[in-house]
Amino acid sequence: MPDPMSVASGICAAGALLTSWQLRQRALRAEAEIEHLQAELAAERHAASHDPLTGLPNRRAFYRLAATLLTRADGRTLIAVVVDLDDFKQVNDRFGHAAGDQVLIIVAERLTAFAGDNLVARLGGDEFAGLLASPTVDRRWIDHATRRLGETLGAPIPLGGRSVRVTASVGLAPVTGPAQLTEALGRADAAMYRAKSLGTGRAPRQLVDSPRLAEC
């Protein structure tokens, strides 16, 4: 006949193991729930700071990130860039909004490839902005960089069985500190609109903020 004490001891041990297993399962579920909440929070933060179509930082994130980069620039000059596609409405009207979205995605990809590790953002609609590191503010370097950007944006964009070209108006302005960011973007934006007023051409258009470049 089994010893009652041994039976009771065995039951207690089994109960302890069961309790331990249950606690472990609860801990695992709690960890999984925390990881899920953290992932949701990260996704919400990303959505709040990024353009849902192109994946680029949005306007708010651009200003925040640009200010941080300028704070760490140690007096080095960066170049504020504003890019606006010309007559983009015609793309939507002729080919549909899905095609227009595809054009914006490809433009964003090309700007990102051109900028490399530098900051690029979609400000809204068909307007983009960037903050590019520059080894110099020499006019020849600026002209070369602008020409390369124009060529990058002006390459044919495949849309199904056809391809389209978009022209862009570009404005640039040097900026050396976070306090100058808004002013520099304003000058780059004004330069971009002056370029746009020159009229539509087959080649992407650009206008450098030359008065400021001459002062640097």
Residues annotated as catalytic (active site), given as ranges? 126
- All residues at 6 or more sequence positions from 172 whose CB lies less than 8 Å from its CB, including other chains: 79, 80, 81, 82, 142, 146, 188, 191, 206, 208, 209
Q: Give me the DSSP letters along 13-77.
A: HHHHHHHHHHHHHHHHHHHHHHHHHHHHHHHHHHHHHB-TTT--B-HHHHHHHHHHHHHTSTT--
Are the C-beta atoms of 138 and 34 separated by less than 8 Å?
Answer: no
Are the C-beta atoms of 91 and 103 separated by less than 8 Å?
Answer: yes
- All residues at 6 or more sequence positions from 46 whose CB lies less than 8 Å from its CB, including other chains: none
